[in-house]
Amino acid sequence: MSLGKIVSISQLVIRVRFDDDLPLLNELLEVSSPRRSKLLVSRIDLDNVAVCLNLDGDKSIQKHMEVKRLKGGIAVPTGPEAIGRVFNAFGQTIDGKPDVSGGSITYRNILDSPPLASNFNVKPVEILETGIKIIDFFTPFVKGTKIGIIGGAGVGKTVLVTELINNVAKKQTGLPFFTGIGERVREGHELLSTLIENDLLKETCMFYGQMNESPINRALVGYAATTLAEYFRDEHKKDILFFVDNMYRYIQAKNELSTILDQIPGEGGYEPTIFSDVKVLQDRLSSNDNGSITSVQSIYVPADDLSDPAVQMIQHEFDATIVLSRSIADKGIRPAVDLSMTTSSLLTPEVVGDRHYFLSLQVQEILEKYESLKSIIAIIGENELSVNDRIDYNKAKALIQNFTQNMFVMERSTDKKGEYFTIDQTLQSVEEIIA
């Protein structure tokens, strides 16, 4: 077996020349540095040079060092022992407990797409109650679908994702996964303590590649988590609840890698392969005949600009998008859902039933009227409205108030008890206002 030789080093990118026996794309290589650090082959250039990423950021790697092929890729341990553990992008445990071990553990390459999903027979629609009125009413949470929570900095994405984990994971409707990508380390710790307090950690699989980590970790951690989720879906026929905070950071990390790999940016300054990078990961987060993957993914909106190309593109992957907006958060309305931008393809009579569906049509009509009445009131004042308009205006205000709610995960900072509403309670509360 021939060895490669390092020909250049630039930041995290290391170029290795092989005379023959070229490595494969996404193969791991080992450098003969004291730490025996690993490289990941990201591209093969024409002159037999493997363009690699320095996975551990090992600074002791030098030009001319020898490099050995490992004939395998980054792999996560798969097996029931992985439940209750916290991993990084490389499948290493980071919870301070012993490595995942046991007879049933096997390893799966995180960048190998699994065999094509078998034909997905349409299963009866199963609605998962979240206990959050505004979500259950406007964006019903249906097993096997994807919900995006979209919003600018500090509008409440993390709080809403955490509340959903808290409310839905408790009910054991699926195996919960949480993937932290490029967000605050402190929030990762807080979520861990929340899960421990509620005795949920032992049933949850967690992956972290937070903002303190290199773009390599942040770009790969989603694949690592997805690989383990696919394993439980396919080998254990489990339904998976897959939570991500924040999927935009995956796109951003891919972008950073693209820059250091000297790719020329494409649309809106994003990397040229952004579309396929988003698609590959989203396609893997899907259901098949073995089991379902239901996902909730937060998306950061840079500079509150919803027309950002990455934000636009990823929205196409979701069955429902909950948009949180600053103007609503500033009014103190929580969750700060912007109903004029929030959409769901699942708010149909077939999915939610006639009662819920027709109620939602009436609510939408009242809320639309409210928007136009608001501008009239700004000019002529509320007293000049016709009796009917005034009734609808007040109904709209009552509805908006009705859809606010205290969160369990905020109890400690707000001193207000968290609230949970069954779907029936939510529908009833709306009916009472409209009647």
Ligand X SMILES: Nc1ncnc2c1ncn2[C@@H]1O[C@H](COP(=O)(O)OP(=O)(O)OP(=O)(O)O)[C@@H](O)[C@H]1O
For ligand X, the closer CB: 23 or 151: 151
**Shortest distance (Å) from residue 157 CB to Mg ion:** 5
For Mg ion, the closer CB: 158 or 194: 158
Q: What is the 3-state secondary structure (H, E, C) of the chain?
A: CCCEEEEEEECCEEEEECCCCCCCCCCEEEECCCCCCEEEEEEEECCCEEEEEECCCCCCCCCCCEEEECCCCCEEEECHHHCCCEECCCCCECCCCCCCCCCCCEEEECCCCCCCCCCCCCCCCCECCCCCHHHHHHCCCECCCEEEEEECCCCCHHHHHHHHHHHHHCCCCCEEEEEEECCCHHHHHHHHHHHHHCCCHHHCEEEEECCCCCHHHHHHHHHHHHHHHHHHHHHCCCCEEEEEECHHHHHHHHHHHHHHCCCCCCHHHCCCCHHHHHHHHHHHCCCCCCCCEEEEEEEECHHHCCCCHHHHHHHCCCCEEEEECHHHHHCCCCCCECCCCCEECCCCHHHHCHHHHHHHHHHHHHHHHHHHHHHHHHHHCHHHCCHHHHHHHHHHHHHHHHCCCCCHHHHHHHCCCCCCCCHHHHHHHHHHHHC
The residues carrying an active-site annotation are: 157, 183-184
For Mg ion, the closer CB: 183 or 239: 183
For ligand X, the closer CB: 198 or 414: 414
List contacts with Mg ion (CB under 5 A).
157-158
For Mg ion, the closer CB: 218 or 238: 218
For ligand X, the closer CB: 152 or 268: 152
List contacts with ligand X (CB under 6 A).
151, 153-159, 183, 300, 334-335, 407, 410, 414
